A and B are shown apart, each in its own frame.
Chain A
Amino acid sequence: MNWNFIIFSVVKIAIVIGVVQGMVAYAVLAERKISAWIQDRVGPNRAAPPFMKYIPVVGPALTRLGIFQPLADGLKFMLKEDFTPAGVRKVYFWLAPAIAVIPSMLVVAVIPFGSQLGQQKMVISDLNIGILYTFGIVSLGVYGIVLAGYAANSKYPFLGGIRSSAQMISYEISMGMSVIPVLLIVGGLNLSHIIGWQAQHGWMVFYAPVSFIIFLVASFAETNRLPFDLPEAETELVGGYHTEYSSMKFALFFLGEYSNMIASAGMMVTLFFGGWTLPFWGLDHPAATLGAGLAHILIFLVKMLLFVVLFIWVRWMFPRFRYDQLMDLGWRRFVPLALLNILVTAVVLWMKS
């Protein structure tokens, strides 16, 4: 029983889950604020605890930034009535939100969010099959949505669940295949080794740009984000697969969607943009000092936040894909493109050796 490892792992898990949940709450706020500014309006700027207006300059400024809105949202979710409609199978109804959230939390376990702090590696589990594990877990995410759509015993959620499951399965294929050139170039599946390779040779996005584009678009589709928004399109499906859920269960779906977004952003940063490294200031090597370790974590967080902002930004740029266009893109264009990508990468690597 390696108590050291167990205790440190538990601490890391607690901290990572806490940080990810905090980021999810503030990602909701960021989405509301950024989408408001893109649409020429102001987002939430009123929620504040009662003593805030007495703090001289910082109080009103923070209130106008909407910093306390997630607290109000959390309170609302906890205090709302949790309603179970008649005619649903209670087991599935109560289980579906949990199954939707768990895979997004599990994916975070393999992403290295820093190099090391002292003797501790800043990744919860340094699996040698990191990427395979990730794709396996992401495939489990489909079950939550299908179950939610089926359990709600109503037409619109059912259609939403079916559409979403078909969409997610289609794009998982191209997502998996687009990562294979990365693995061919690096030679292994361990995410820390991929970051190490990028520290030596430069960011992967310059070596496999087509891979990056396919992965980017597929992760939009995986997280049900616009322009692949059909499963939760409000104009067509009322609310999609989460129509019938209220307060805490709806909060769990929301949490699952945003933590999926954050996990996808983390994966993209790790695979294509160098993870926690920066090409200058000697930050390519695993940290020797505590300060460098913290700097690595900060770099990773900043890069991940940039991708989350990209997710939010793209939402307001495009109209939604029609369902047949979506499937067409997934099967008829991305799968051949990904296969061609693998072929070309393999040929180039063979000719170089």
Chain B
Amino acid sequence: MIVNRKPLTMWERLYLPAIAGGFKVTARHLFRSLFGGKTVTMEYPEQKWSVPPDYRGAPYLVRDQDGNTKCVSCQLCEFVCPPKAIKIIPPGPVGPLANRPNAEKMPLEFEINMLRCIYCGFCQEVCPEEAIFLLKDYSLTGLSRAEMIYNKEKLLALGGEHGGIQKWKHKLEEAKEQDTFPVKVRPNES
């Protein structure tokens, strides 16, 4: 395609119309921002952006609808974590007593080092119990490195409730139903 390139007129060759146009544009923007308040700046922290769904923030442990913790200390998240931010101490033969149906194993200690976490979401993907989720926290600060290693209490407190499939509760109910499974007896059998 042929671009129509007209030669510049004498006036245009002096660049004076271009200069005047430049002054107009910049003056317009100047007065609009200064007196009209139409700046594109988002003044954090007074104005914050809205976090989209599925945003990969900081990982926290969650409870289900009944307030039970979900983690069964399988240590899958510890093994899949790329920067090795998660450290779990499993309960061993004598661990804390369970306070929820059917899932007795609970981690003795669960630590995530927030300074190592890369917010990849692998732990959330691999957890079979839906116990760890990457929630919407994006600005974490602390005054020391020790402060930024979150232990189980802090993770649970920050995680809040994230109800889901309560599979152990349903499995317990199914097992109980099987105790009284109605067996049909065929009639006329001797």
Give the interface of A toward B (CB within 8 A).
Answer: 34, 36-42, 45, 313, 316-318
Complex contact A40–B38 (CB within 8 A) = yes
Complex contact A40–B29 (CB within 8 A) = yes
Q: How far is the CA of A318 from the CA of B43 in the complex (A)?
A: 29
Complex contact B22–A318 (CB within 8 A) = yes
Kindly identify, within residues 31 to 57 of chain B, every residue whose CB is under 8 Å from any CB belonging to chain A: 32-34, 38-41, 43
The 5 A-B residue pairs whose C-beta atoms are closest, nearest first, are: A317-B22, A37-B33, A41-B41, A42-B41, A37-B34
Complex contact A317–B39 (CB within 8 A) = no
Q: Tell me if B76 is interfacial: C-beta within 8 Å of chain A.
A: no
Q: How far is the CA of A34 from the CA of B30 in the complex (A)?
A: 8
Task: Count B interface residues, CB 8 Å.
Answer: 15
Complex contact B26–A316 (CB within 8 A) = yes
Smallest beta-carbon distance B32→chain A, Å: 8
Complex contact B29–A37 (CB within 8 A) = yes
Selected contact of A42 from candidates B19, B22, B32, B43, CB within 8 Å: B43
Contacts of A318 in B (CB 8 A): 19, 22
Q: Tell me if B11 is interfacial: C-beta within 8 Å of chain A.
A: no
- 16 interchain pairs (CB within 8 A)? A34-B30, A37-B29, A37-B30, A37-B39, A38-B29, A38-B33, A39-B29, A40-B29, A40-B38, A40-B40, A41-B33, A42-B33, A42-B41, A45-B43, A316-B26, A317-B26
Contacts of B22 in A (CB 8 A): 317-318
Q: How far is the CA of A264 from the CA of B182 in the complex (A)?
A: 101
Q: How far is the CA of A41 from the CA of B39 in the complex (A)?
A: 5
Q: How far is the CA of A40 from the CA of B40 in the complex (A)?
A: 6
Q: How far is the CA of A332 from the CA of B82 in the complex (A)?
A: 64
Q: How far is the CA of A150 from the CA of B71 in the complex (A)?
A: 65
Q: Tell me if B181 is interfacial: C-beta within 8 Å of chain A.
A: no
Complex contact A42–B26 (CB within 8 A) = no
Contacts of B41 in A (CB 8 A): 41-42
11 further A-B contacts with Cβ under 8 Å, apart from A41-B39, A41-B40, A313-B26, are A34-B30, A37-B29, A37-B39, A38-B33, A39-B29, A42-B33, A42-B39, A316-B26, A317-B19, A318-B19, A318-B22
B117-151 to A contact mask, C-beta < 8 Å, 1/0: 00000000000000000000000000000000000
